[in-house]
Homo-oligomer: A and B are copies of this chain.
Amino acid sequence: MNNGSPKVLPDLIERARQVGAKLYQGDRASQALGMRVLDTTPGCARVAMHVRSDMVNGQRVCHGGLIFTLADSAFAYACNSHGPNTLAAAASIDFLVPAREGDELTARASELWRSGRSGLYEVEVTNQRGERIALLRGRSHQVAGSNLEP
Interface string of A18-47 (1 = CB under 8 A from B): 000011111111111000000000000000
| Contact of A72 with B by CB under 8 A | yes
Partner of A137, one of B68, B73, B92: B92
B72, A65: Cβ atoms closer than 8 Å: yes
| Choice from B53, B58, B60, B120 contacting A96 with Cβ under 8 Å | B120
Q: What does the 1/0 interface line of A113-139 toward B look like (CB < 8 Å)?
A: 101001010000000000010010101
Report B-chain residues with C-beta under 8 Å of the C-beta of A24.
Answer: 58
Q: Binding site of A, secondary structure by majority: helix, strand, loop or mixed?
A: mixed
Provide the residues of chain B in CB contact with A141, threshold 8 Å: 118
Residue interface bits A82-111, CB-to-B below 8 A is 1, else 0: 000101111111111110000000000000
| Interchain CA distance A103-B71 in the complex, whole Å | 24
Taken together as a complex, chains A and B put the C-alpha atoms of A30 and B22 apart, in Å, by 29
Which of A58, A61, A63 has the largest count of B CB atoms less than 10 A from its CB?
A58
- The reply on A12 being an interface residue by CB < 8 A is no
